[in-house]
């Protein structure tokens, strides 16, 4: 059981570390490509991570987090020409005509991330 525990911990730490690296890339990719394309690249990279030794709770929480990112494209698809650092663009959208729906969808990203954090081994 101890081997499984350390493998689960290693798996989850590696996923979190890789997400952190991918997040830094994501935050600046939207300076050159659309937000939706940036999100596609980010979520495709996350989907390709190896969750084989992660706990089921962590894996499910992380998959929900990926889905939350995909769902925000309902709004970002409306802004194909918007460029800049992702957080600045999110602030801009949050204060625009799609603010209500955008706030709900971005809250789900944060809520699912909280579940990921709480499900770590």
At 4, is the pLDDT very low, low, confident or very high (cuts 50, 70, 90)? low
- Extract the tokens encoding 106: 């971005």
What is the rounded CA–CA span in Å between residue 51 and residue 38? 23
Each residue of 51-68: pLDDT tens digit? 999 999 999 999 999 999
Exposed, middle or buried: residue 56 (CB in 10 Å: 0-12, 13-18, 19+)?
A: exposed
Kindly state the percentage of the chain with pLDDT values over 70.
97
Exposed, middle or buried: residue 98 (CB in 10 Å: 0-12, 13-18, 19+)?
A: middle
Exposed, middle or buried: residue 51 (CB in 10 Å: 0-12, 13-18, 19+)?
A: middle
Q: Indicate the average pLDDT of the chain.
A: 95
What is the predicted pLDDT for the residue at 121?
76
CA angle 63–69–73, rounded 5-degree value: 140
What is the rounded CA–CA span in Å between residue 43 and residue 37? 10
The mean per-residue pLDDT over the stretch 35-40 comes to 98
With a CB cutoff of 8 Å and minimum separation 6, the contacts of 48 are none
At 5, is the pLDDT very low, low, confident or very high (cuts 50, 70, 90)? confident
What is the rounded CA–CA span in Å between residue 76 and residue 88? 13
């Amino acid at each position: 059981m101890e081997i499984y525990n350390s493998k689960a911990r290693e798996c989850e730490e590696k996923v979190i570390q890789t997400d952190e690296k991918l997040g830094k890339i994501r935050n600046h990719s939207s300076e050159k490509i659309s937000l939706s394309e940036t999100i596609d690249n980010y979520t495709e990279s996350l989907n390709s991570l190896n969750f084989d030794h992660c706990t089921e709770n962590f894996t499910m929480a992380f998959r929900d987090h990926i889905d939350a990112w995909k769902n925000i494209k309902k709004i970002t698809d409306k802004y194909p020409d918007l460029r800049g650092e992702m957080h600045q663009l999110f602030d801009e959208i949050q204060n625009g005509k799609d603010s209500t729906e955008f706030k709900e969808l971005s809250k789900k990203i944060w809520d699912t991330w909280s579940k990921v954090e709480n499900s770590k081994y």
